[in-house]
Amino acid sequence: MSLKPFANKELKKIIRNFTPNWFTVNMGTGISFLTLFNIRADLFPGELLLGQVIWFVDIFFFVLFSFLFIYRMILFPDTIKPMLQHPVQSMFLGAIPMALVPVLEGFAIFGPSFLGEQAINIALFLWWIDVILAVGVGWLLPYLMSTTQEKHKLENMTAVWLLPIVASEVTASAGGVLAPYFSGETAKTIIIVSYVLWTFSVPLAFSILVILFLRLATHKLPHRAMATTSWLPLGPLGTGSLGMLLLGSATKATYIGIYISQISDFLASFGFITGLLLWGYGLWWYVMAWLFTIKYFNEGLPFNMGWWGFTFPVGVFTAATFQLWRVTDYTIFEILGLIFSFQLIIFWILVFTKTLKGMWSGYLFQAPCLSKETGLPKPLEDCNKVNN
């Protein structure tokens, strides 16, 4: 199929086929600028300026995608039910709150240079919105999976199941970033809510990883259209590790002079131990993901929106690695963090470029839930095919 200019595509057709997996663009782009912020300035002198530029780009795309997604639900309400009933596309609703996290963290990190202290309040406001979204999808999707969605079989299962679950712990890690910017009851509330959000996600994510390993052992690797899901387990493990490390430090600094201060030292130590253990588990999945990916590439791996799975999971695992370096001062964590950062930036440039090409031609605007066929994996393959 010949490429057609994006400008010539019918806008209503694009809106009708706009899917929540587009928010993975924000996830990958957002974690990229946050990773640049983690690199020492003496190693990368332009990291602050470049991070700010990418943050603005991320905000632009988040606003654009939010507008298109909301407009789709208003103009085409008949597409909402098929989207919610689709066993794969519905999972990407979890990408929406995760996409908002880098944006709000950017307001806390970069915002004061442009908006003053008001940027911190904006970050907190967006964080509470994110809490509602993360908890909402974290309850809604498992409920739909258990009641009305079909086609959920062990042989069809992939790590995509993690997406609505992981959203809560991503929000929890953002709470660990924001809490030090506040004091008093505000900081304490952020920390308590974040710990609860962490438990909403990580234990359930562990159970999904167990099922995923069973599925891989009994039914082998999924279809190549879902190849990048091999990287998704790094998401809950990297974010879970990062969340415990950040919340442990924030708790020790916030709870002083009251009862809970007696256990704040324990929570800081517990955060480090838990974070290190989750990081180690993530390292195992990191190597396995590379082995699976090399096998897929040898067999031929066409581009689809799932390629954004190469970015965000690696990014949060990188962030956890850098946080372990700050806590321990072990050079090995800094070296590994830099290696992971290099991988992330290379993947982001590659995927971002291909995505822009797909947006311009219009072939990426195809909603799996609107396919005439409803079985798996056929419509999944059809809706993710590309013309290189």
> Do the domain assignments include residue 54?
yes
- Domain range for 278 is 6-368
> Do the domain assignments include residue 101?
yes
> Do the domain assignments include residue 87?
yes
> Do the domain assignments include residue 383?
no
> Do the domain assignments include residue 384?
no
> Do the domain assignments include residue 382?
no
Confidence grade of residue 261 (pLDDT, cut at 50, 70, 90): low
First to last CA, the chain: 10
Q: Which tokens belong to 226?
A: 């879902």
Number of domains present in the structure of the chain: 1
75 pLDDT more than 80: yes
Express each pLDDT in 88-115 by its tens digit: 999 999 999 999 999 999 999 999 999 9
Confidence grade of residue 8 (pLDDT, cut at 50, 70, 90): very low
Position 4 scores a pLDDT of: 46
Cα-flanking dihedrals φ and ψ of residue 365, to 5°?
A: -90, 75
**Residue whose C-alpha is closest to residue 351's, from 72, 31, 11:** 31
Q: Which tokens belong to 308?
A: 């954004």
H or E element, residue 168 = helix 162-178
Q: What CATH number is attached to the domain comprising 254?
A: 1.50.10.150
Position 358 scores a pLDDT of: 77
Q: Locate tokens 């899901």: which residue? A: 229
Q: Locate tokens 């519905």: which residue? A: 90
What are the residues whose beta carbons fall under 8 Å from the beta carbon of 200, sequence distance 6 or more? Answer: 135, 138, 168, 169
The whole-model pTM stands at 0.89
What are the residues whose beta carbons fall under 8 Å from the beta carbon of 269, sequence distance 6 or more? Answer: 248
- State the sign of the Cα–Cα–Cα–Cα dihedral 167, 321, 112, 192: positive
> Do the domain assignments include residue 78?
yes
> Do the domain assignments include residue 246?
yes
Count how many Cα atoms sit within 13 Å of the Cα of residue 286 in the half-sphere of its side chain: 23
Q: What is the arithmetic mean of pLDDT over 61-69? A: 95
